[in-house]
Amino acid sequence: MDGQDAVAGRYPAADVREQALARLREEGGRITPARRLLLDAITSPGHHTAGELAETVRASAPGVHVTTIYRNLDELERLRLVDRTYISNGPATYHMASVAHGHLACESCGAIADLPGEAFATLHDAAMSMYGFEISPARFAIPGRCARCT
């Protein structure tokens, strides 16, 4: 199961990072070492839990507290710079927001794959016509079984 980066990571991570920091500053936020390191971690390929991100950040700056990670992720999500994705009952995972896409999460091996936004077209239409409901595909993962685990 590849395709982890069918969507994110097309541009140098440092560019994405500085762009995100710029947006933070626009909003009256500050640029701090913790934030830069968090963005470094989150721009790396794949889907990361808050705990993993904390660990990655701590590799460079041991003092950074999980609370800081959570608060910054909240802020980045509020600015729509990152997507928070809930995978079954496990911890939420985060990745840079980019092209709209959804996720597939294997219930047995935990692998995650991205699915293009177009795959959600009929789903989107059904939700909209039946309930006037606007779906957010990026924010959740569809459970199931991947090819390897079937």
Partner DNA sequence: ACCCGGCTGCGAATAAGTTGCAAGTGCGTA
Partner DNA sequence: TACGCACTTGCAACTTATTCGCAGCCGGGT
Contact positions vs DNA (CB under 7 A): 24-25, 28-35, 49-51, 61, 63-68, 70-72, 74-75, 89-92
7's CB contacts (< 8 A; 6+ apart) are 98, 99, 101, 114
Residue 114, SS3?
A: strand
Nearer to a second copy, 28 or 122 (CB): 122
Q: Which is nearer to a second copy, 17 or 101 (CB)?
A: 101
Distance (Å, rounded) from C-alpha 141 to C-alpha 146?
13
- 8 Å CB contact between 141 and 90: no
- Smallest separation (angstroms) from a second copy to the CB of 38: 19
Q: Which is nearer to a second copy, 60 or 88 (CB)?
A: 88
With CB cut-offs between 5 and 8 Å by kind, which of DNA, a second copy, none does residue 144 bind? a second copy
CA 97, distance to chain mean position in Å, is: 6
